[in-house]
Amino acid sequence: MKLYVMRHGPAEDSSSTGRDFDRVLTPSGLTRTRRVAHELARHDETPRRLLSSPLARARETAAAVAKALDLDVEVEICDELSPGGDVPGLVRSLLGEGARRVLIVGHEPDMSGLVQGLLPGSVRGFDKAMVVGLRLRAGVPAALRFVLEPREPVLRRA
């Protein structure tokens, strides 16, 4: 499975409701997310399935990726991608069902924790809108494929 691990894009500091759950992307966060999606496409790294945390900023990030890549897919909302959720369990489930090219959008420190658990010492914390590409196979250690730094954005192959 090609797994694309992404942290949500830059979001507002607080929402109009005062709830962290409702914070949305800033205009510059939306722009950064689109630029990252276009960089994925430029390198033929287009996911076929998009899974998101239920929090507004993650859902909006996944929707922006889908739109930028012109993907005709629904974003799947997964509680496991909520802060503190069972992201490793979700990934095991995806692997077990034979999923192929999946992008997951979540939060820190869960995204870097997932990658560190699969590839110890490989990646520091995730910047907002950062993507790490992994190859996962049952019974085989994970392999780092690339890191897409969001500020430039530049995809660096492993």
Q: How many domains does the chain have?
A: 1
For residue 32, what is the domain's CATH number? 3.40.50.1240
CA–CA dist 125, 148 (Å, integer): 13
* DSSP annotation of 55: S
Q: What is the pLDDT of residue 8?
A: 98
Apex 126 CA angle, 120 and 127, nearest 5: 155
Q: What's the pTM value of the predicted model, to 2 decimals?
A: 0.96
**What domain range is 148 assigned to?**
2-15+18-157
Q: Which residues of 48-80 are buried (b: 16+ CB within 10 A; e: fewer)?
A: ebbbbbebbbbbbbbbbbbebbebeeebeebeb
Per-residue confidence (pLDDT) for residue 43, from 0 to 100: 96
pLDDT lower than 50: segments of the chain: none
- pLDDT for 11 equals 98
Paired residues of 144 in beta bridges: 134
